[in-house]
Amino acid sequence: MTAPQALVAATLDHLTRFSPFDQMERAHLAWMIERSKLGYYARGEVVASPDAGEARTFFIIKQGVIHGEQDVVRAQEDATWLELHEGECFPLGALLSRRNVNSTYKAGEDTFCYELAADDFRELLRMSPAFHDFCTRRIANLLEQSKQVIQAQYVKSTSEQQSMTSPLSAVIRREPVTCAPDAPMRQVLETMNELGIGSMVAVDADKRPLGIFTLHDVLKRVTLPGLDLATPFSAVMSPEPVTLPPHALAYEAALVMARHGFRHVLVEETGRLKGLVSEKDLFSLQRVGLRQLSGMIRKAENLDSLIHAAADIRQLAHNMLAQGVTAEQLTQIISTLNDLLTQRIIELELEADPAAREVEFCWLALGSEGRLEQTLNTDQDNGILFAVPDGRDAAAVREVMLPFAKRINLALAECGFPLCNGEVMASNPKWCLSLAEWKDTFDKWIFHGDPMALLYSTIFFDFRPLFGAEHLAEELRDWLAAESPKNTRFLHQMAVNALRNRPPLGIVRDFVTGDGHTIDLKLNGITPFVDATRIYCLAYGLKATNTLQRIREMAGPLNLSEQDAEAYGDAFLFIQLLRLRLHHEQCQLGQPLTNKVDPDHLNALDSRILREAFRQARKLQTKLGLDYQV
Partner 1 sequence: MNWLARLFGEPAVALSPTQAGRLAAWQALPAADASLPLAQGRYVVVDVESSGLNVNRDRLIAIGAIAVVNGRIDLNDGLDIVLQQDKVSDKANILIHGIGGTAQRDGVPPADALLTFLEYLGKDPLMAFHVAFDNTMISKALKRHLGLRFEHPWSDLAYMSPALYIELVHRCRTLDDWTTHFGIGNFARHSALADALATAELLLALGPRMRHRQIDCFRKMRDLYLAQKRATSPLAGM
Residues that bind partner 1 (CB under 8 A): 1-8, 10-11, 13-14, 33-40, 42, 45, 63-64, 110, 112, 114-115
Query: Shortest gap between Cβ of 60 and partner 1 (angstroms)?
Result: 12
Tell me whether residue 1 or residue 73 sits nearer to partner 1 (CB atom).
1
Tell me whether residue 34 or residue 585 sits nearer to partner 1 (CB atom).
34
Dihedral (Cα; 406, 410, 415, 419), 10-degree rounding = 90
Query: Shortest gap between Cβ of 18 and partner 1 (angstroms)?
Result: 15
Query: Shortest gap between Cβ of 9 and partner 1 (angstroms)?
Result: 9
Tell me whether residue 46 or residue 436 sits nearer to partner 1 (CB atom).
46
- Peptide bond before 418: cis, by omega within 30 degrees of 0? no
Tell me whether residue 111 or residue 342 sits nearer to partner 1 (CB atom).
111
Query: Shortest gap between Cβ of 117 and partner 1 (angstroms)?
Result: 11
Query: Shortest gap between Cβ of 12 and partner 1 (angstroms)?
Result: 10
Strands 243-244 and 264-269: parallel
The helix/strand/coil state of 365 is: strand
Tell me whether residue 1 or residue 452 sits nearer to partner 1 (CB atom).
1
Helices (H), 461-596: 470-483, 488-498, 527-539, 547-558, 562-588
Tell me whether residue 110 or residue 437 sits nearer to partner 1 (CB atom).
110
Tell me whether residue 36 or residue 545 sits nearer to partner 1 (CB atom).
36
The helix/strand/coil state of 384 is: strand
CA-CA-CA-CA torsion sign (411, 414, 417, 419):
positive
Query: Shortest gap between Cβ of 253 and partner 1 (angstroms)?
Result: 49
Of the candidates 354, 441, 453, the one whose C-alpha atom is nearest the C-alpha of residue 404 is 354
Beta strands in 299-346, from DSSP E residues, in sequence order: none
Query: Shortest gap between Cβ of 600 and partner 1 (angstroms)?
Result: 18
Query: Shortest gap between Cβ of 86 and partner 1 (angstroms)?
Result: 10
**Residues 432/391, Cβ–Cβ less than 8 Å:** no
Counting every residue written for the chain, the total comes to 630
Q: Give, in order, the Cα–Cα distances in Å from 6 to each of 2, 3, 14, 33, 114.
A: 11, 9, 12, 12, 17
**Residues 512/472, Cβ–Cβ less than 8 Å:** no
Tell me whether residue 43 or residue 74 sits nearer to partner 1 (CB atom).
43
Gap between the Cα atoms of 485 and 498, Å rounded: 17
Query: Shortest gap between Cβ of 52 and partner 1 (angstroms)?
Result: 16
Tell me whether residue 6 or residue 205 sits nearer to partner 1 (CB atom).
6
Task: Count Cβ neighbours within 10 Å for each residue of 77-94 and write b for 16 or more, e otherwise.
Answer: eebbbbbbbbbbbbbeeb
The helix/strand/coil state of 116 is: strand
Of the candidates 479, 468, 439, the one whose C-alpha atom is nearest the C-alpha of residue 361 is 468
